[in-house]
Amino acid sequence: MAFPIVATLVMSFTDFGLRNVTNPFDAKFIGLENYSKLFGDEQFLQALFNTGYFVVLGVPLTIGSGLLAAVLLNSGIERFRTFFRVGFYAPVVTAIVAVAVVWRFVLDPSEGLIAGLAREVGLTAPDFLGSELLAMPSLIAMAVWRNMGTAMVLFLAGLQAIPTEVREAAKLDGAGAFQEFRRITVPLLRPTMLYVTVMTTIGFLNVFEEPFVMTNGGPSDSTLTVSLLMYREGFNFFHMGYASSMAYTLFVIILAVTLLQLRLLKDKTK
Amino acid sequence: MSATTETSATTAPRNGYAVRDRRTRLTRGVTYALLSLGLLITTAPFLWMGLSAFKTPQDLSASPPVWIPTEWTLANFSKLFDLLDVRLYFFNSVLVAVFVTLCNLLFCSMLGYALAKLNFAGKKVIFGVVMAALMVPGNLMLMPKFVMMSKMNLIDTYAALILPFAAGAFGVFLMRQFMSTVPDELLEAARVDGAREWYIFWRIVIPQVKPALATLSIFVFLGSWNNFLWPLVATNDAGKYTLPVALATFATDPTKANGSNGVLMAGAFLVVLPVLAVFIVLQRYFTQSIATAGLK
């Protein structure tokens, strides 16, 4: 398992190309050339920016909606609980490729659901995936829709682990619903929050299928992500050395972001 | 995490002393309204997909949009089967997912047992590697994995789709965590009675960790069924495509699908339906296992 991790690093310092797939050891060491090329490559910088945009907007929305759903489901309602939980979680189990195809149709400017509903109230829906401005927010909306269920289930487990005595003590002391949420729920949910944040962020940083199926990185690279560019460089053009340097850069970013989150969200009372 | 296994009855305590005045009824109303709105948003795309798959071209392009087909038709499915060898891709997906799951059950539980219950040189190092692999994103290993597979002449074979996933770090970690909870006394007693290591593993430890094996199966099968990037890279021959690869290739090729949304919805329907059906039947185990795996 450790071998490919080291192998990617080694490959990122070489000019590994198509012919090296059959003769891997013929690849030449070119030092940091791939990396210096990478940070002058406008397409890569664009992909880095797009990935950041996707994460910065998508992760908080996913966590926020997941937390909201969990709190609502845990607020003492009994009827239809399972029904709601199953509905919210259903997008998680389905293949991203399939739901991306479905969403492409939902967002379609002529036959799509949203366009049709907009026409009914006398509006014209924009061409979501064909617009540089709206394509990325559309992908984010879909990603939030698909991943919110995971966050919800984890938060629900975290909420249920909070002893009822603690809540009742707070109520007896006169805490309102909001105070209870802020002073009891949020602090006791910290470990869950940490786990959900880290896992969601890692998943979002690796985003690939959504732009691959829905926009192919377009229009004019506005939804090109690091993983998608890496796939193209590595497997359409077989610039595998160069693609490896992208993979490693993304890995280092993931590592740094994870460590930062662990630091910031760590339980300071311990 | 025992709380996750409890059901709604115990986790949503009724406050006997709380007076159900107008305010709580209002809160309840708002709660249900918000939940229903959320449910509408999460399920609408599925309904739209499922219904559109059975629509005629007229219904598909109707304005205002038609939810229930005015005329139910299987034309989209028959066109899909003409354009795409769905049976083959379905078979490929099932075959790969079943083998990946079986391999994981076997290898992860064996390695998990060794890491949880046996003492040997290098145990800490191996556990460290497993933990590191747990954090490394799969995409990072794409290029070397591809080179390894093509050096072994395995590109475009089922082996290329199965081998890289035969023992996941997550599975090893999960099994190790569960097996650590099996009391050592049990194993010691068996050893004193002269039981072999294999017998202990197979007859004593495995029966104790059945819930973990179920969790692992759900995770691994689902992961394999929905996996996309590696099968995309590891297959050039359309005969070895899995369902998601076939669907994505079909959907992104403008000459094939050619804007026929009905056919695309029929394809998505066939990919989503088996998983969704299994999920609805086994939903309790699904959500529980996500929670246990996450918080263990």
Interface pTM (ipTM) of the complex?
0.84
> A-contacting residues of B 185-224, CB under 8 Å?
222
B44·A99 Cβ contact <8 A:
no
Provide the β-strand partners of residue A29. Answer: A14
Does any CB of chain A come closer than 8 Å to the CB of residue B254? no
Q: How far is B256 from chain A (nearest CA, A)?
A: 14
Beta strands in B128-269 (DSSP E): none
pLDDT value for B256: 67
Give the nearest partner residue to A75 out of B31, B245, B286, using CB atoms: B31
Contacts of A250 in chain B (CB under 8 A): 137, 139-140
Interface probe with B: pick from A94, A196, A228, A237, most Cβ of B within 10 Å: A94
What whole-number distance in Å separates Cα of residue B167 and Cα of residue B111? 9
Worst-scoring range by mean pLDDT, A116-120, A251-255, B10-14, B129-133? B10-14
Please report, rounded to a whole number, the percentage of residues in chain A having pLDDT higher than 70. 97
Burial of A70 (0-12, 13-18, 19+ CB in 10 A): buried
pLDDT lower than 50: segments of chain B: 1-14, 16-18, 295-296
Proportion of chain A in helix, strand, coil states, percent, rounded to 5: 70, 0, 25
B272·A164 Cβ contact <8 A:
no
Query: Nearest-CA residue of chain A relative to B144?
Result: A4
A95·B228 Cβ contact <8 A:
yes
Instruction: Kindly report the average pLDDT of chain A as a whole number.
Output: 88
Query: Nearest-CA residue of chain A relative to B233?
Result: A235
Give the nearest partner residue to A243 out of B143, B251, B290, using CB atoms: B143
Nearest alpha carbon to residue A224 among A92, A71, A49: A49
Whole-model pTM: value is: 0.86
B48·A102 Cβ contact <8 A:
yes
pLDDT value for A207: 92
How many degrees, rounded to 5, is the angle at CA B62 between CA B58 and CA B65?
135
Q: Which residue has the higher pLDDT, A177 or A10?
A: A10
Q: At residue B271, what are phi and psi to the nearest 5 degrees?
A: -75, -40
A154·B291 Cβ contact <8 A:
yes
pLDDT value for A124: 82
pLDDT value for A157: 86
Give the nearest partner residue to B49 out of A102, A145, A231, using CB atoms: A102
Worst-scoring range by mean pLDDT, A53-62, A132-141, A158-167, B100-109? A158-167
> A-contacting residues of B 59-98, CB under 8 Å?
60-65
Contacts of B55 in chain A (CB under 8 A): none
pLDDT value for A250: 92
pLDDT value for B284: 76
pLDDT band at A127, cuts 50/70/90? confident
- Say whether B160 sits in a helix, a strand or coil: helix
Interface probe with A: pick from B220, B271, B287, B295, most Cβ of A within 10 Å: B287
Q: Which residue has the higher pLDDT, A31 or B189?
A: B189
Q: Is A270 a residue whose pLDDT tops 60?
A: no
Q: At residue B204, what are phi and psi to the nearest 5 degrees?
A: -110, -50
What whole-number distance in Å separates Cα of residue B234 and Cα of residue B163? 12
pLDDT value for B12: 44
Give the nearest partner residue to B8 out of A68, A78, A235, using CB atoms: A78
Provide the β-strand partners of residue A14. Answer: A29
pLDDT value for B257: 59
DSSP B12: S
